[in-house]
């Protein structure tokens, strides 16, 4: 398939990098100000190097991307809340043009799910968004294969930064500020880590899951969210005395979304370590399915995008 | 879709039972000697009750199933080795008639994989077999979505009977014979438990996985297999002193298949407990994906069959 990739951060660049291996052509790669466009396929390696070294993808305009002949728009621009712009407009433009959109951007599916579904219903193109939840872990495809009606709840750890911090606090007996600084040095936490540590990032993902289960109806403002910023090291020490630890756990059901720190047994499946993520999918007929893996990263998230592309139906 | 179900054991009956919930009609259900056939859909509840109470599905002949109009044959007859008959013939007949076949029977894909692929290539129908590996756990669909080329190895615990026995031996300090008897009382082990405890059942599953990775080339005779029948209770006690335990672990790569008892850390992901199964899928770009869940059972395996049916392309 011909891919037009919007967003040249870790995810966008990784999708461009791996596309050939999966049998796809990259006809466009754009960031907010520059773009490389070629109907016969861009020179991916060169373009990525140009971005990394010179901070430009090429001389084309990002809007040119929509004038190119492509099958799938990969929307990998930064997640925005509320009106989810410009991501939502990008998806809308693509669906209006009867093309597919594969999202790595959580905004449109967390904040404007029903509108997006409406646009999809009117389009020959489809919307997929595996990459918005759990990085490399096949969460949404599993729910799709089980059928959402057969899934009763999803619980888990979906933010690797917060999980890493809690793992290190427990392992080293260090306090939050200290471990956050360590996480930033390692590149596990961003310079502004707010959305990771206050639970917003995890909540967006569980809101997306609730929307899938309930066929819409939820946005971030519906979630009950608590972060990890106020957990003292002593709380983890006390938990350990009881054979337990603390993890930032989220839960999505048809009735709502909650994210917050929870006590879990140290050897429980939910006590994943480091930056790993885990989901527990509760089903009607098949008990509890657990899936864990790397929840973030360029190549990891790119595999979710490429997996989605592989599941798109042919365009008319 | 219209389902013709061959095999009325736990899996066949569960598929028939759940089909309606997933939007499918059951036009035939057959065992080795009797059948219920109705082009408008059989009375599933009545037919299952008749089987359970009177050991007959109805007055039709099992061969009538192939004269019926159906979209998918669900092959849920007992797994046989070597020539994989009659399961292989059932799949062949269906593909020759340009219909889909969804296997819960491991024989054809473990023992005659390339032949089956050849028949599929000549057919308008497709072959799917999620239910042959790991019960409810989406193993094959995950590999399919990653693409087999991006998967380097699969490791895990794929026999719940053996895992239950080892779990109980370690937990209670009991010996193998004692725990096997307990497992048989609980229905976790069969009257003839050979294939579960000698590693054959697990090996068949890892052979299927190797065939998927390598696009054929393996059968049961290629696997190196050791079972759990000779593990003394003392081995587990010794392991525990070191913070380890023993599990029947299998591994499939493009180079081959090995199944045998292995020492694993007590808190490792591979140390699943009871009858649970786990697979660790090693990928090129996304690290290690772990999936665990119920590896066997009527409804559990039926969800895998129904998940496969949901992923079938439309027939011409």
pLDDT, tens only, B54-81: 999 999 999 999 999 999 999 999 999 9
- Supply φ then ψ for residue B121, to 5 degrees: -65, -30
Those residues with Cβ within 8 angstroms of residue B177's Cβ, 6 or more apart along the chain or in another chain = none
DSSP element (H, E) containing A165: helix A160-172
Per-residue pLDDT band at A86 (split at 50, 70, 90) = very high
Mean pLDDT of A229-235: 94
- Nearest by CB to A291, from B289, B294, B304: name it: B289
Q: B72 - beta bridge partners?
A: B3, B100
Answer whether B207's CB lies under 8 Å from B110's CB: yes
CA distance B261 to B84: 27
Q: Hey, what long-range contacts does B21-29 have (CB within 8 A, 24 or more apart)?
A: B21/A149, B21/A150, B22/A147, B22/B306, B22/B309, B22/B310, B24/B306, B24/B309, B25/B1, B26/B2, B27/B2, B27/B3, B27/B68, B27/B69, B27/B70, B28/B3, B28/B4, B28/B60, B28/B64, B28/B65, B28/B68, B28/B70, B29/B5, B29/B57
Whether B299 contacts chain A with CB within 8 A: yes
B75 is in an annotated binding site: no
- Cβ-defined contact of B293 to A290 (cutoff 8 Å): yes
Answer whether A282's CB lies under 8 Å from A209's CB: no
- Exposed / middle / buried, residue A99 (Cβ in 10 Å: 0-12, 13-18, 19+): buried
pLDDT computed for residue A242 by the predictor: 94
Q: Degrees (nearest 5) of the Cα angle B74, B79, B84?
A: 95
CA distance A126 to B104: 31
Please say if the pLDDT value at position A219 is more than 90.
yes
Max CA-CA distance within chain A? 62
Q: Which two tokens stand for residue B64?
A: 């009538």
pLDDT computed for residue B26 by the predictor: 98
CA distance B224 to B250: 10
Specify the 3-state DSSP secondary structure of A191. Answer: coil
B106 is in an annotated binding site: yes
DSSP element (H, E) containing B100: strand B100-103
CA distance A195 to A12: 21
Q: How far is B230 from chain A (nearest CA, A)?
A: 29
Whole-number Cα distances in Å, B196 to B138, B186, B192, B220:
21, 15, 9, 14
pLDDT computed for residue B136 by the predictor: 94
Q: Degrees (nearest 5) of the Cα angle B94, B95, B97?
A: 65
C-alpha radius of gyration, chain B, whole number: 20
- Cβ-defined contact of A307 to B22 (cutoff 8 Å): no
Whole-number average pLDDT of chain B = 96
Please say if the pLDDT value at position A82 is more than 70.
yes
User: Which of A12-16, A64-68, A277-281 shows the lowest per-residue confidence on average (mean pLDDT)?
Assistant: A64-68
* Nearest-Cα residue of chain A relative to residue B267: A267
- Supply φ then ψ for residue A202, to 5 degrees: -65, -40
Structure confidence by residue, pLDDT tens digits, A179-207: 999 999 998 998 899 999 999 999 999 99
Please say if the pLDDT value at position B240 is more than 90.
yes
DSSP element (H, E) containing B263: strand B256-265
Q: Degrees (nearest 5) of the Cα angle A308, A313, B2?
A: 115
pLDDT computed for residue B316 by the predictor: 66
Max CA-CA distance within chain B? 62
Three-class SS of B130-187: HHHCCCCCCCHHHHHHHCHHHEEEEEEECCHHHHHHHHHHHHHCCCHHHHHHHHHHCC
Mean pLDDT of B25-29: 98
- Nearest by CB to A286, from B269, B285, B294: name it: B294
If you count residue pairs, one on A and one on B, with CB atoms under 8 Å apart, how many are there? 101
Per-residue pLDDT band at B130 (split at 50, 70, 90) = very high
* Nearest-Cα residue of chain B relative to residue A138: B142
What residues of A form the annotated binding site for L-homoserine? 190
Q: Domains (ranges, CATH) in chain B?
A: 2-135+298-311 (3.40.50.720), 141-294 (3.30.360.10)
Whether A160 contacts chain B with CB within 8 A: no
Q: Which two tokens stand for residue B228?
A: 């759990």
Whole-number average pLDDT of chain A = 96
Those residues with Cβ within 8 angstroms of residue A32's Cβ, 6 or more apart along the chain or in another chain = A62, A77
Structure confidence by residue, pLDDT tens digits, A237-248: 999 999 999 999
Handedness of CA B238, B242, B248, B249 (dihedral sign): negative
User: Which of A251-255, B247-251, B287-291, B310-314 shows the lowest per-residue confidence on average (mean pLDDT)?
Assistant: B310-314
Q: B6 - beta bridge partners?
A: B30, B75
Residues of B catalogued as catalytic: 205
Please say if the pLDDT value at position A316 is more than 80.
no
- Exposed / middle / buried, residue A226 (Cβ in 10 Å: 0-12, 13-18, 19+): middle
CA distance B50 to B58: 8
- Cβ-defined contact of A310 to B147 (cutoff 8 Å): yes
Whether B285 contacts chain A with CB within 8 A: yes
CA distance A167 to A240: 12
pLDDT computed for residue A139 by the predictor: 96
CA distance A128 to B273: 35
Residue % of chain B over a pLDDT of 70: 100
CA distance B283 to A22: 14
pLDDT computed for residue B315 by the predictor: 83
Identify the DSSP state of A93: H
């Amino acid at each position: 398939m011909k891919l037009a990739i919007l967003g040249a951060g870790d995810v966008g660049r990784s999708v461009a990098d791996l596309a050939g291996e999966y049998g796809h052509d990259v006809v466009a790669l754009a960031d907010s100000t520059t773009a490389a466009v070629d109907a016969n396929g861009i020179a991916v390696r060169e373009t990525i190097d140009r971005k990394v070294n010179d901070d430009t993808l090429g001389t084309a305009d990002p809007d040119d991307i929509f004038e190119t002949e492509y099958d799938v728009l990969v929307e990998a621009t930064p997640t925005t809340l509320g009106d989810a712009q410009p991501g939502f407009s990008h998806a809308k433009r693509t669906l209006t043009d009867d093309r597919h959109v594969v999202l790595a951007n959580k905004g449109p599916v967390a904040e404007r799910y029903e509108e997006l579904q409406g646009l999809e219903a009117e389009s020959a193109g489809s919307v997929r968004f595996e990459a918005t939840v759990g990085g490399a872990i096949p969460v949404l495809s599993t729910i799709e294969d089980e059928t959402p009606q057969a899934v009763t709840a999803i619980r888990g750890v979906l933010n690797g930064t917060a999980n890493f911090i809690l793992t290190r606090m427990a392992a080293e007996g260090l306090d939050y500020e200290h471990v956050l600084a360590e996480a930033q040095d390692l590149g596990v936490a961003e310079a502004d880590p707010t959305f990771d540590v206050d639970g917003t990032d995890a909540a967006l993902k569980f809101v997306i899951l609730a929307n899938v289960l309930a066929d819409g109806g939820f946005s971030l403002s519906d979630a009950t969210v608590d972060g990890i910023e106020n957990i003292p090291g002593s709380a983890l020490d006390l938990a350990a005395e009881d054979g337990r630890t603390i993890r930032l756990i989220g839960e999505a059901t048809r009735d709502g979304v909650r994210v917050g720190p929870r006590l879990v047994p140290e050897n429980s499946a939910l006590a994943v370590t480091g930056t790993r993520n885990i989901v527990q999918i509760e089903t009607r007929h098949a008990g509890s399915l657990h899936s864990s893996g790397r929840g973030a990263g360029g190549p990891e998230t790119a595999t979710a995008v490429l997996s989605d592309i592989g599941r798109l139906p042919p365009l008319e």
